[in-house]
Structure 1
Amino acid sequence: MDIYVARASAVFVHDGRMVRVGAGETARAGHPYVVAHPELFAPLEVVYDVATTEPAPDPEPEPEPIPVPVKRGPGRPRKNG
C-alpha cells in the first residue's frame, strides 16, 4: 500500500472536527484525510530501498586461536618429614 506525505502543514475540518496535519506527516493511500484533501499530500519518495541496496558482505571467519604454551615447572616442593 502506498504512503503519502503532507507537503505542508494544514488545518481543515473533517467530519465536523478541526484537524491539523503537520508537514512531513505520513498517511496510507485511502486514508480519509488523503482522499478528502489530495492536494495536501504527495507520494512518499523512498531514498534507500531494500531492493536497490547491495547486500552486506559475509563477515570473514575468525582465525583459529593459537594455543599459548604453558610453562611447566617442577611443581610444589615436597615437605620433609
Structure 2
Amino acid sequence: MIRPRSTRDRERLEYEAGRAVSMLRLEGIACLVRGEQEKARARNRMADDLTRALNGKETGFDFAGGRAEWLKQQEKAS
C-alpha cells in the first residue's frame, strides 16, 4: 500500500523540481552562448513542460497524439 506524501516531502519535491527547471534554463543559456540553438530550444521546452506540470497544467507528454500535435493545438487555441 502506498502512503500519502507528507507536506514536508511534497515541499522538498517541489523545491527539487524547481531547481531542475533552473538548471535546464541555465543549460539552455549555455547552449546559446556556444551557438547550439537546437539544444537551447530543447532545454527550454523541457523546462517549460516541467513548469507546466508543476502548476498542474496539461503538457505535451499528457497528449496521446504526441508533442507536435499538442503544440499545434496550443497554437490554434492562442
Same fold (TM over 0.5): no
The TM-score, its normalising length taken from structure 2, stands at 0.19
> Which structure features the higher share of strand residues?
1
Q: Pick 1 or 2: higher relative contact order, CA cutoff 8 A, min separation 6.
A: 1
The TM-score, its normalising length taken from structure 1, stands at 0.18
Greater radius of gyration (CA): 1
> Which structure features the higher share of helix residues?
2
